[in-house]
Amino acid sequence: MGRACSTCLVIALIAFNVLFLLIGAAILCFAIYCYVDATIQSAISQSGYGDKVQNLLYGLIGLGSLTIIVSIFGCCGAYHESACLLGTYFTCLVIMFGVELAVGALCLVFRNETETRINKALENVIMSFSDTSIPGNNGMTSSYRDLIQRVIQCCGIYGVDDYPGPNIPASCCIPGRAGCPSKLAAFTVGCKQVTNELVRQKFLTALALIMSVPLVKAVGQNSTAFICAAATRPTLDGTVKWAVAKKPRCVCVMDKQFTGCLCCGLY
């Protein structure tokens, strides 16, 4: 029964780490994409918080890379039931747990300041829209203005009337609505109002997701501690017996002064 329980925990821990490896890869790819994409970099430069956002991207790149490395430690440690790898993995989890918990707590304590800065950065980007920059066709453009209008479904800074004349950018058009690029087929709400509402409504949801990550990792820590304890069992004579009967790789030395074997590990 004990061995069956240990095997289930090994499988669960491997699956847990594969999931976190994919999450780490997604974070890393997202951060690198934001760092190299000209449209996003243009929006960042207009936000008024360019240096802070760039530092945030560096932090996300580091977080994604660290998550991938730690997940590999966890997978290998669980598969081989290596006390050394599992111990390293557990230590990394504890450190990441503390850092993420601290970040979530700071965001909660300084919620108003955080919301204000996010709103201000988005407003700076939106206020840099050019009223006269209207595409000559209905195609998708590469400007950050059109990217924002398309994603959050808004038009202009304060509304569709920000654009002079009867026509609007294609990114203002409601998907599937006939008559584009006429203003009759456009989103009527301005991007400034939409971003303020989004930040206010989604901030707590984002904070809850941030705080849930350490809780999930706490489950991984408990599983790791159990597997690590099961990986080595002290016998009556004080030696250590591996819980899984795998063949060790050993190097044997025999000469006049010493005769013995050094077991390097289990494979």
Q: Which residue has the higher pLDDT, 61 or 232?
A: 61
- Which pLDDT score, from 0 to 100, does residue 135 have? 42
Structure tokens at 236: 């009556």
pLDDT at 90 over 70: yes
**CA 11 centroid distance within chain:** 23
User: Does residue 222 fall inside a structural domain?
Assistant: yes
For the chain, the domain total comes to: 2
Residue 35's domain spans which residues?
2-110+211-234
Rounded mean pLDDT, 110-118: 81
- Same domain membership, residue 181 and residue 54: no
Residue ending a domain, among 192, 219, 252, is: 192
Other residues' Cβ atoms within 10 Å of the Cβ of residue 173: 22
Mean pLDDT of the chain: 72
Residues 6 or more apart from 157 whose CB is under 8 A from it? 126, 127, 129, 190, 191, 192
pTM (predicted TM-score): 0.64
User: Does residue 115 fall inside a structural domain?
Assistant: no
User: Does residue 46 fall inside a structural domain?
Assistant: yes
Buried b (16+ CB within 10 A) or exposed e, 115-136: eebbbebbbbbbebbeeeebbe
User: Does residue 229 fall inside a structural domain?
Assistant: yes
- Same domain membership, residue 98 and residue 20: yes
The pLDDT-based confidence of 242 (bands split at 50, 70, 90) is very low
- Same domain membership, residue 105 and residue 13: yes
User: Does residue 146 fall inside a structural domain?
Assistant: yes
- Same domain membership, residue 215 and residue 106: yes
Rounded mean pLDDT, 80-91: 79
- Same domain membership, residue 96 and residue 13: yes
- Same domain membership, residue 102 and residue 12: yes
- Same domain membership, residue 72 and residue 19: yes
Residues 6 or more apart from 181 whose CB is under 8 A from it? 134, 135, 138, 167, 168, 169, 170, 172, 173
pLDDT at 239 over 50: no
Rounded mean pLDDT, 34-46: 79
pLDDT at 102 over 80: yes
The pLDDT-based confidence of 39 (bands split at 50, 70, 90) is confident
189-213 per-position pLDDT tens digit: 888 888 888 877 777 777 777 777 7
Structure tokens at 170: 């294609």
pLDDT at 111 over 60: yes
Phi and psi at residue 73, in whole multiples of 5°? -55, -45
The pLDDT-based confidence of 250 (bands split at 50, 70, 90) is very low
- Same domain membership, residue 226 and residue 106: yes
- Which pLDDT score, from 0 to 100, does residue 185 have? 77
Distance CA 167, CA 47 (A): 27
Q: Which residue has the higher pLDDT, 205 or 215?
A: 205
Distance CA 13, CA 207 (A): 26
- Same domain membership, residue 29 and residue 88: yes
- Same domain membership, residue 93 and residue 14: yes
Other residues' Cβ atoms within 10 Å of the Cβ of residue 19: 12
227-238 per-position pLDDT tens digit: 666 555 554 444
- Closest residue by Cα to residue 23 from 53, 62, 68: 68
Phi and psi at residue 135, in whole multiples of 5°? -60, 150
- Closest residue by Cα to residue 135 from 174, 171, 94: 171
